[in-house]
Structure 1
C-alpha cells in the first residue's frame, strides 16, 4: 500500500514544531546576508545527519533558532509555505495547524497571526487540494489575562480560518487541576462557537483526576495524547465518543509510553467503539522532558531528526507503523484514515469534501 498517496488528515500539528531545519537554514542565509543575525548556520549547529542529541539539549537549541529567526513577515511566510508543502507532498489533504500567538521585535501577536493566516490562504489558492485551518494555543504557563487575549484573537479571526483553541505546554505547569484558571476562557470560547482541543493526560504530572475532570468540563471536541488517564476517565471518553489525537512515534521515541509501538495505547483505542482516532506526527518541540529519569539517556534517532519537522516521522509513516505493528490491512487503514473526518473543526462543508476524496478501500 502506498501510504504517501493515501489521503490523510492531520489534526495535531504544532506550526513551529513542523518547521524543518532546512527551512531555518534558508531563513538564516537571508538574515546573515543582511546582517540581521549573528547566529551560526542552523545546519552547522544542528546538521541534518546528526542524531546524537538528547531531548533536553536538542529542543531548547532548536527553539532558540525559531524565536531568533521567525521574527518578520518574510520568515513567517517562508516557513508556512515550507511546512504546508511538506504536508502536501506527504498526501495530507486537510491540516489544522496550531500556534501560540507571540509578538516579535517587529510584529505584534495579532500581526503574527494575520500573516500566518494570509500565508495559509495564499498557499491554498495555489494548491487547493490541501485545506488548512488554524488553532490558537494557550500555554499552561500563561496568565488568565494572556489566555483571554488569545481568545480575543481567535474570535476576531474566526471567519478567516481560526477554528478553535488548544491548551498545551509544559505538563508540570499548573499541576493538580490548577488549569482551572482557564475555565472561563474555554467556556466563553464554546459560547462563541469556537471548538477546543486539549493536551490531555500527556504526562503523569498532568494526569490527576482533578485536572482531567476540569478539562472534560470544557467539553473539548478532541483530546491529545491521552496517556495517563484512569479507567473511569477512559469510560467517559468512550461515552462521549471524543476524537483522540494519537502520536505513536512521538510517544514511543520520547519514552512517554512503555512497551514500544506494540505497547502503545493505540492498541486499546482502536478496538473501542465510539471514540475516533486521528493519527498525528505531533511535530512539537517537547522542551520539558516528560520522563525526568530519561533526561540525558534517551537519544534522538534518525527517524526523529530527518528533514520532516522537529519531532516525528511523516504522517504517511505513522500509518505504515500502525499497519505493521497492529496488523491492519488496506481496508482497515482506509477506515482509520477516515475516522478523523467528524473530528475536524473546519465545518460541515469541509467534512463532505473529505468524505468524497478519502479512500474507502
Structure 2
C-alpha cells in the first residue's frame, strides 16, 4: 500500500459520490429486511412453511458458491418476496440502503417474474411485477424529494434481466417488449434504460437470445451482459464469449475467465466493465480461489482504456456495499483519493440514462474533489 492509499478511509469512500451499475434487486435485499418480511408473513400465517432466511444466510456468512447462491434464491428469497406488498417493501428498502451508502446514481436490475399460487394460477404477471418495482422507485423518489437534501439525491433507473437458464427465446423477447412499452409510455423520462443477460452461467445456450438483444438494440436500449463468470473448457468458453460479443453489448459484467484473444477485442472496442470484487472473491470465482489482490480489477484499471465501475452484484449475500468496494480497491491496489475520484469519473461515461445525468454526476465529482482531495 502506498502513502496515498493508506490515507484513504472508509468514511471517505462512503462520502464519495458513487455510481452503481450492477446490482440485482433480489440479491441486494439485506438479511434484516428479509427477516422482517419473514416475521410479517409468519405473524399473518403461523403455518408459513418457509424457513427463516437467517438460517440459510446466517450473520457473517459471505462465502456462497454459485450452486448454493442460486439455491438460496429459489428456496428462500423468491418465496418470501412474492406479493405486491413485499416486492414494494423490499424495493424501497434496497434503494434507501444504496442512497445511505453514498450512491448518487443507481441502475438497479431485476428479472421480470411471473408469480403463481399453490395451484399454479398466476397471481402477478411479469408486466405487473415490473409495475410494482417501478412504483417502488417512484415512491422512493417522492420521499427523497420531501427530504429537501438535494446533495444526497440518488437517481434511480431500471434494467430488465433475461435469465439464460429460465427464459426461452420467446420469453426473452417478452422481457424486451415490456421495457419498450414502458419507455414508449414515458418517452421524455424513461426509467427502464437497458436489458441484461444473467442467470446460472453453467446453464443455457446464449445463442438462442440473439433475437431478443437485436430487438433491444433496435429500440436503443442499453445492453449489459454477465460475461465469463465461469470456465467450461477453453474452446467452449471462447465460443460462448464470441457469441455474447456479437450481441454488441455496451457493458460487460464480471469478465473473470477471459482468454487473451477476447480481452484484446474488449479493449479494442473499449467496452465498459462492471467489476464485482467481493462477489468474485467470496464466491471463489477466481482461478485457484484467489483473494482480492488476485482480482482482475487491477489489470483492467491500470492497463486498459475501458471504463471500469466497481459494483456490488448482490450485497445481501456478500455484505460489501459500494463504498467498501472502493475502499478495497484502495487497500489492495494502491488507489489514492484522486484515483478513486478518477475511477468514478471513468464509469460515468458508461451509464445508460443519457447526457443530463452524466453532467450532473461529473459536477458532483468536481465539487467533491474541491472539498476533499
Specify the alignment match of 1:133 in structure 2: 157
Q: Are positions 1:279 and 2:313 aligned together?
A: no
Specify the alignment match of 2:191 in structure 1: 161
How far, CA to CA, are the matches of 1:51 and 1:94 in structure 2? 26
Q: Are positions 1:5 and 2:15 aligned together?
A: yes
How far, CA to CA, are the matches of 2:63 and 2:163 in structure 1? 29
The alignment of Structure 1 onto Structure 2 pairs a total of residues equal to: 334
Q: What TM-score does the superposition give when structure 1 sets the normalisation length?
A: 0.87
Q: 1:223 aligns with which of 217, 228, 252?
A: 252
**Higher mean C-alpha displacement, 63-72 vs 97-106:** 63-72
How far, CA to CA, are the matches of 1:194 and 1:62 in structure 2? 27
Contact residue 308 and residue 346 of structure 2 kept, 8 A: yes
How far, CA to CA, are the matches of 1:53 and 1:119 in structure 2? 28
Contact residue 17 and residue 311 of structure 1 kept, 8 A: no
Q: 1:181 aligns with which of 208, 216, 228?
A: 208
Specify the alignment match of 1:234 in structure 2: 263
What stretches of structure 2 of length at least 5 have no aligned partner?
1-7, 117-122, 146-152
How far, CA to CA, are the matches of 2:298 and 2:51 in structure 1? 43
Q: Shift of the alpha carbon at 1:51? A: 6.5
Q: 1:327 aligns with which of 330, 334, 346?
A: 334
After TM superposition, the structure 1 = structure 2 runs for residues 47-86 of structure 1, keeping only pairs within 5 Å, are 47-49=58-60, 56-57=67-68, 60-61=71-72, 63-86=74-97
Query: What are the Cα deviations for residues 82-110 of structure 1, in whole angstroms up to 9, with x where unaligned?
Result: 11111111111111111111111321111
What stretches of structure 1 of length at least 5 have no aligned partner?
284-307
Specify the alignment match of 2:148 in structure 1: none
How far, CA to CA, are the matches of 1:19 and 1:115 in structure 2? 16
1:248–1:54 Cα change, 3 Å? closer
**Higher mean C-alpha displacement, 342-351 vs 33-42:** 33-42
Q: Which has the higher helix share?
A: 2
- What is the root-mean-square deviation of aligned Cα atoms in Å? 2.0
Q: Shift of the alpha carbon at 1:311? A: 2.5
Specify the alignment match of 1:286 in structure 2: none
Q: Are positions 1:264 and 2:264 aligned together?
A: no
Contact residue 250 and residue 312 of structure 1 kept, 8 A: no
Specify the alignment match of 1:122 in structure 2: 139
**Higher mean C-alpha displacement, 123-132 vs 72-81:** 123-132
Q: 1:28 aligns with which of 24, 35, 38?
A: 38
Q: 2:344 aligns with which of 314, 332, 337?
A: 337
Contact residue 338 and residue 355 of structure 1 kept, 8 A: yes
Q: Are positions 1:170 and 2:200 aligned together?
A: yes
Q: Are positions 1:213 and 2:242 aligned together?
A: yes
Q: What TM-score does the superposition give when structure 2 sets the normalisation length?
A: 0.84
Contact residue 204 and residue 228 of structure 1 kept, 8 A: yes
Q: Shift of the alpha carbon at 1:62? A: 5.0
**Runs of 4+, deviation exceeding 4 Å:** 49-59
